[in-house]
Structure 1
Amino acid sequence: MIQFALAVAFLIITPGPGVLSVAGVGAGFGLRAGARYIAGLFVGTNLVAIAVVSGLWAALSTVPYLTTALLFVSVAFLAYLALRIAFAGASIAFNRALKQPGAADAVFLQFVNPKAYAVNTTLFAGFPMGFTDPATEIAMKFLIMNLIWVPVHFGWLWLGITIKRLDLPARTQRRINYLMAVAMMAVVAMTLLAGGIAGA
């Protein structure tokens, strides 16, 4: 159980599109928007976990080119989210069309994020806890994952909100937003190149 909890903590705390986008939403849009975004990520993460546990994802992953299509959609959507974070509060004409990311965006992010499926597959397929009843083991894993997932994501939101509350000059705040957006895309690029699993 401890080994599983440590694995969950490592995979979630490691900067990935989910936690970085939470910090970016906090820095660019504040607490209320960040809390809504986390709620969407939470729903999306658990829906992905249910798809993995139920075997639905295993069945769908046999569809030719589905994972590749998800990868391209995921990268495109993350680029769009990064754009919205980068130009939060900027007085640029096209910025009016870029609404703050909400719960639906976060759910969709997890739905199209191949890493979310990979992380959940790793956690649920591995790290046996020794329960004789598979349902009990799955329930315990869901409980432990969510008990770690929620405070970690609110920690990243707090980081973003703290940056916003520093009342930095507009130019500095924009640069921080740009940095958040670039970091999101850099993590995606590094994950794609390495073929590894970063925090979901």
Structure 2
Amino acid sequence: MLTFAAAVFFLIITPGPGVLSTAGVGAAFGARAGSRYVLGLFIGTNLVSLAVVSGVTAAILADDRLRTLLFFASVAYLAYLALRIALAGSKVAFIERAKPPGVGGGILLQAINPKAYAVNTALFSGFGFWPQSFAVEIALKFLIVNAIWIPIHFAWLWLGITLQRMNLPHHIQRTINIAMAASMMAVVLLAALSQA
């Protein structure tokens, strides 16, 4: 169980679309809007987990045409987000929008986030620790994943809010944006390589 918890921690804390966008929403819109967005991500990631555990994801992805279409749509959207972050200029906001993405935006992001599917597939199909009952193991995994997921995402939200309040020099803010965009593109490239 400790190995599973460690895997959850390291797979979730690494920069991906969910945590990077959480920091961005926090930097751009503050704690209240960021918390609503995190709620959407939370709902979305649990829906992805349920889709993985129930086999719905496997059934959908069994169709090569649909898998390819969904893959390219996900990559295009994440590349678009990375480009917006990189071109945000000298203001750490990661996401330039007129209004915050809200709960629906968080759910949508997780629905097309290849990292969410990869992480959940790895966590729920591996790291067995309760051979007596598959149902108990899955329930415990949901509890462990969420117990780690929630504080990590609020830590990224706090990071975004803190970076905005620091009023860093413009060149530092630009460097942060480029580093965040590069991290998101790394996720996109890893997803692309896994499809090859």
Structures share a fold, TM > 0.5? yes
2:6 is matched with which residue? 6
- Alpha-carbon deviations, 1:126-168, whole Å to 9, x = none? 1111241221111000000000000011111111110111134
Q: Could you tell me which amino acid in structure 1 is paired with residue 129 of structure 2?
A: M
Residues 80, 148 of structure 1: CA spacing in aligned structure 2 closer, same or farther, 3 A cutoff? same
Q: Deviations over 1:99-120 (max 9, x none)?
A: 3322211111111123322211
Post-superposition shift, 1:59?
A: 1.1
| Cα-Cα RMSD | 2.9
| CA spacing shift, 1:89–1:106, aligned 2, 3 Å | farther
For 2:102 and 2:167, the matched residues in 1 are separated by 23
Structure 1 counterpart of 2:190, which letter? T
Q: Quick one: distance in 2 between partners of 1:118 and 1:96? A: 28
Matched to 1:55, the amino acid is G
2:65 maps to a residue whose letter is Y
What is the correspondence of 1:33-48 to structure 2 with a 5 Å cutoff?
33-48=33-48
Distance change (3 Å), C-alpha of 1:181 and 1:98: farther
The answer to whether the 8 A contact 1:52-1:120 is kept is yes
Query: The residue matched to 1:195 in structure 2 has which SS?
Result: helix
Alpha-carbon deviations, 1:63-88, whole Å to 9, x = none? 22222222222223224444665677
Q: Hey, what's the Cα distance between the residues in 1 that align with 2:127 and 2:155?
A: 26
Percent identical pairs in the alignment equals 57
Contact 2:79–2:188 under 8 Å retained in 1: no
Q: Distance in 2 between matches of 1:102 and 1:86?
A: 22
Partner of 1:192: 191
One-letter amino acid of the counterpart of residue 102, structure 1 = G
Cα offset for 1:185? 3.6
1:99-178 equivalences in 2 (<5 Å)? 99-168=99-168, 171=170, 175=174, 178=177
Asked if the contact 2:48–2:117 (Cα under 8 Å) also holds between the matched residues in 1, the reply is yes
**Other-structure match for 2:65:** 65
Compare 54-63 and 96-105 and name the one that shifted more.
Answer: 96-105
Distance 1:154 1:162 in 2: 12
- Contact conserved, 2:115 with 2:187, CA < 8 A, in 1? no
Q: Is the 8 A contact 1:18 1:41 kept in 2?
A: yes
Shift >6 Å, 4+ stretches: 86-90
CA contact (8 A) 2:48 2:111 kept: yes
Distance, in Å, in 2 between the alignment partners of 1:21 and 1:183 is: 13
Distance between the aligned counterparts of 1:106 and 1:80, measured in 2?
16
Normalised to the residue count of structure 2, the TM-score between the two structures is 0.83
Unaligned runs of 5+ in 1: none
Corresponding pairs, count: 192
Residues in 1 aligned to 2:44 and 2:15: alpha-carbon distance in whole angstroms: 18
Distance 1:48 1:75 in 2: 17
Deviates more, 1:36-45 or 1:178-187: 178-187
What SS does structure 1 have at the residue aligned with 2:64? Answer: coil
Q: Which runs of 5+ in 2 are unaligned?
A: none
